[in-house]
Amino acid sequence: MSTRRNRGRRRVSVTVAAAGAALAMAVLAACGPQDTGADQQPSSSTTAAGTTEPATTSAAPATTQAPTTPATTAPAKSTKPAAPKTKAPTKPPVEPAVMKVGTTSSQVRELQARLGQLHLFSQNPTGYYGSVTQHAVSDFQERHALASTGSVSQATWSKLRSLTHQPTHKELYPPIPAKPAGKLDARCMTGRALCISKTSRTLSWVVNGKVQATMDVRFGSQYTPTREGLFHVDSKSRDHVSTIYHTSMPYAMFFSGGQAVHYSSDFAARGYAGASHGCVNVRDKAAISRLFDEVHVGDKVVVYW
């Protein structure tokens, strides 16, 4: 009996022991790390000695972030001061011309008279601004440290006026010399005649043997010579323009075909440096203007050496 009881007790003990072992294994399996999907700090556990130590669980290796490409940074601007810009030298403003070559006016006549007072203009004032006047103006500008342009600026005009007096009527319109530069042709001594000498290069207005006025003239070139001989004024044209050369021929008095006595702005400007196409050029506009009013169609014209 006792033997059976002992065997039964041992079986119960073994059964109980096996059940306990199975329970212990189930408890141990339930204590592993839980994946909650979040990064959490592992909790600490209390040792038998009563000290708190971090749990010795093995953590998953930290995720290594891929190296980021450093942002491209624009190069810093140089703090060196920029070189100052070199400005081109500015030229002094050029004064507009008050009078220049080609101008015809009473002011030009005054200019010429004032230059005459300073012995820079030796001719009678004509009111036409030509090369002779241009050279006289340049001479004046050089003598007084002005820009030598040959044109009259306001500065030139002011300086000239400060050194001269207001021209008199006689200085502006000097009397035309009555005495001829040379001997008159015999054909000029009777009646009314325009007596034109190629030797003295003068025209004398003669009435009944008496000289009324004399003025400078020039003639045609060797290729277009002014014809000599006795002629008569056959027509007059105050504001004539050449139909051949399309040039102005003021106060024209025709005596031989297309040849005429008339005012020439080119003669006034260039003097004897030029020539006509056969006409008799007069350079004093005021003088020929008066002569034009006195001469009649039919009056004699004598051209001689």
- Closest CA relative to residue 211, chosen from 249, 185, 247, 237: 185
Instruction: Decide: helix, strand or coil at residue 278.
Output: coil
Q: Tell whether the model's pLDDT for residue 87 goes beyond 90.
A: no
Which two three-digit tokens encode residue 114? 């004032």
**pLDDT, position 30:** 37
Kindly tell me if the per-residue pLDDT of 73 is higher than 60: no
> What integer pLDDT is reported at residue 135 of this predicted model?
92
Q: Give the predicted TM-score (pTM) of the model.
A: 0.54
Tens of pLDDT, residue by residue over 237-262, are 999 999 998 999 999 999 999 999 99
Work out the mean pLDDT of the chain and round it to a whole number: 79
Distance, CA of 38 to CA of 17 (rounded, Å): 40
Helices 106-117 and 131-143, packing angle to 10 deg: 50
Write down the pLDDT at residue 271: 83
For the segment 206-228, what is each residue's pLDDT rounded down to a tens digit?
Answer: 999 999 999 999 999 999 999 99
* Listed ranges 42-51, 65-74, 129-138; the one with the highest mean pLDDT: 129-138
